[in-house]
Structures are given as C-alpha cells and as structure tokens.
Amino acid sequence: MENQEKMNKEKLKSMEAIFEAKIANDEKIEPKDWMPEKYRKTHIRQISQHAHSEIVGMLPEGNWITRAPSLRRKVALLAKVQDEAGHGLYLYSACETLGISREEMYDQLHSGKAKYSSIFNYPTLTWADMGAIGWLVDGAAIINQVPLCNTSFGPYARAMVRVCKEESFHQRQGYEIMMTLCNGTQEQKDMAQDALNRWWWPSLMMFGPTDDESTHTEQSMKWKLKRKTNDELRQQFIDQTVPQADILGLTVPDLDLRFNNDTGHYDFGKIDWDEFWQVVKGHGRCNKERISARKNAWDNGKWVRDAAVAYAEKQSDKEEVKKAV
Amino acid sequence: MNKNWPLWEVFVRSKNGLEHRHFGSLRAADAEMALNNARDVYTRRSEGVSIWVVESKNIKASNPEHNGELFEPAADKAYRHPTFYNLPDDIEHM
C-alpha cells in the first residue's frame, strides 16, 4: 500500500515535470491534456474573473448610451458595449473547457464569491467619463491583456487574440471623446479634467498590488499568465499615458509626477491602497448596484430562457412526429 | 423548469475558397438561435461568409492520453515522404 502511494506520488511528480517543461518550451496546453489541479483552479479563477469584468464592465457605459451627445457617439458606444458582451462570452466558453459550468460561474459572480475588476465599481457621472474610460481603463486593460495572447492555456490565448484585436478601437474612441471636449468650451474642458481626476488613480490600481505585496507573481510568470510584474506594467502605462494627457492639455492629478532623466521613466506619487482594498472587499461606491443589476438581469430573464428551451423542445418533437408519419 | 441551454461549437468560413474553421463556442436553446448568436458573437466585423454550428455533445474527440498509439506510428514511416528516395543530383522535373 505504502509502495503504491509512493509510486503514485512519483508518477505525479514526473507528469508535473513534463507539464512544466512543455510550457517552458512554449507549447500550449489544451483542455483535454493532463494538467495539475492547481493549474486548472488558477485558470478557472483568472479566466472567470476576466469574463465577469467584461460583463460587469458593460454597466458603467450602458448608463450613457441613451444620453450620448450625437448619433456618431451613440453607435460607437453601442458597438463598444456589444464587444464587451462578446468578450465575456468568449471567455466564459474558454473557462467552461476547464470543467466548470456556465451556471456555476454566474452563481459565483452573483453571490460575490468571484471578483471582477474593481474599476467598474466607480460611478460614471458625466459624458466625459465615457472618454476617460475608453482612454484610461481600456488603455490599462490592453497593457494587461496583450501579453495574454501568448499565455500557455490554448483556449484562453485564442480568446485573448480576438479580444485584443477588437479592443484597439475602444481606446481610440475614448481618446477622441476627450479630444473633442478639450477643444470645446471651458465648461467642456473642465468636465474632461474632472473625469481624468476621478479615473486616474483607479486606473493605476488596475495593475494590482505592488510587486512586494503580490502573492501569485512567481507561479503566474511560470505559466505565462503574466509576462511582466504589476509594477512594470503600471510604469509602462504611466510612461505612455502622461504624454497623451499633455496633448489634451489636461493635468494628471499627481503633484509628485515628474519625468526622471536618470531612469527614463516618470516618477509618481503614492497610490492609496486602502481605497483599493476597500473597493475589492465590496465597499466601493457601486459594488452593490453592479451586482444587483447583474442578478436582476439573470433572474428576470429566466422566463425568456425557459421559453426558448420549451420552444426548442416543441420544434424537435414536431420533427419526430413528422419523421414517424 | 431549470434547463440550461446546450453548448454549440461554431465554425466560420472567412471567405469562399477557404475551409470552415473552428472559431469558438456558445450557448443557445436550438440550432437556429445558435446560428444567430454565432453571427453576433463571432462575425461582428465581417469575419465570415458562412457559419456552421454543431452541438458540442455530438463531437467525438480523441483522447490526448492515447496520442502515442494514434500518432506515433507515422513517425517511422519516412518512405511516405518524397525526400526518402535517392535520386541523382542532375535529374530534373521530379
């Protein structure tokens, strides 16, 4: 018995070694391949949370679709929100290949067990927020997502290739909104500045805790869920975004922000991590509103889903009868 | 009643002359809805001219654990490739 156990353990170890070597060699892992339980669980967590973020991410923008200032803005915003629904669906089906059901993922979102990106727990107060979200939030998301096109789990990587291809218009439409406001009246420019003031710091928080506080980095690097650390990605975002703010003539709300000639990067001020953890723990301004909107949509849509199933069953019964007579 | 919509696999032909390629999957109550959803989820930017959907449960897949006996026998059959055959260097059109 003891020998048997020892053999099993050794076998598991060698399978894990083969698995890790495959990833190190840039080979992909596909759903039916053997994988360590921890790999499966980590991927279910990350991919489902990513999917939830896309779905919840529709809500702050959905808030402005009916109030978009022109038809051009309205069709663009509609298309962007529709893309986000699509991205959520790609990711949910990628996640289902790991053996979790769609229903279980929804349950985890609705019960608060699964997280989604904290940025969506902030309110969208003015039209300028649509510009700031596209420019900053989608900008940060792109930096986070591009490296995932090469991640080790095949279905996730393929979904991300599609997502990244579609996402580049999102950031551009946001920046164009900011640009238009900044070339407008003083009131419009003030509105753009106010949106930047409110979205800047939460956008920096999207890259997650600092490296010395981040617990999963080493394992995630190995599995290619991460290619760069949180701090490196955050720095990259700041370096590329500050000049874009300059072009708009807006001021980034950070008194400590200045270009460091020695490092070639921007130095920046302290991030309020207490605020970050408060929002993660559910005490952001919109956490409750977002979850209840999702839950209501799901619960109130039940009769539609049931009716569709009933209709499908009736049609297939009719086919059976037709075949029989 | 609490029935989940079944899972469908989506195949898209990007343009005539190319084969249908697997694009991903989605949930739908029936084939008609699966086609409509596939159009919205996978071809929002003119990615296709034809869509196939098939219920995922109807696909029989090989098991990667049996890859050895399934695929390795091909590895030692070099005589199936043109480079296996020795010909003089100056022969042409072959």
The pTM for the full model equals 0.92
User: What is the ipTM, given to two decimal places?
Assistant: 0.87
CATH topology for B1-60?
Ubiquitin-like (UB roll) (3.10.20)
Q: Give the pLDDT of residue A6.
A: 81
B-contacting residues of A 157-196, CB under 8 Å?
158-159, 162, 166
- Closest residue of chain A to B64, computed from CA coordinates: A33
Instruction: Give residues with Cβ within 8 angstroms of A45, minimum separation 6.
Output: A114
Pick the more confident residue, A64 or B2.
A64
> Which pLDDT value is given to residue A133?
98
Higher pLDDT, A214 or A22: A22
> In sequence order, what are the beta bridge partners of B52?
B11
For every residue of B11-30, DSSP letters joined together read EEE-STTS-EEEEEEEE-SS
**What residues of B are in contact with residue A309 (Cβ under 8 Å)?**
1, 3, 5, 29
pLDDT tens column, A225-264: 988 999 999 999 999 999 999 999 999 999 999 999 999 9
**Residue holding tokens 């690097």?**
A221
Yes or no, beta carbons of B44 and A312 under 8 Å apart: no
Among candidate residues A125, A146, A142, the one with its CA nearest the CA of residue A134: A142
**What are the domain boundaries of chain B?**
1-60
Q: Two tokens at B14?
A: 């990007």
Average pLDDT over chain A, rounded to an integer: 95
pLDDT band at A325 (very low <50, low <70, confident <90, very high): confident
pLDDT tier at A144 (50, 70, 90 boundaries)?
Answer: very high
Digit-coded pLDDT (tens) for B40-92: 999 999 999 999 999 999 999 999 999 999 999 999 999 999 999 999 999 99
Residues A30, A74: contact at Cβ < 8 Å?
A: no
Helix locations, A183-301, DSSP H: 186-205, 217-222, 230-248, 273-278, 287-300
Average pLDDT for chain B: 94
pLDDT at residue number A50: 97
Share of chain A above pLDDT 70, in %: 99
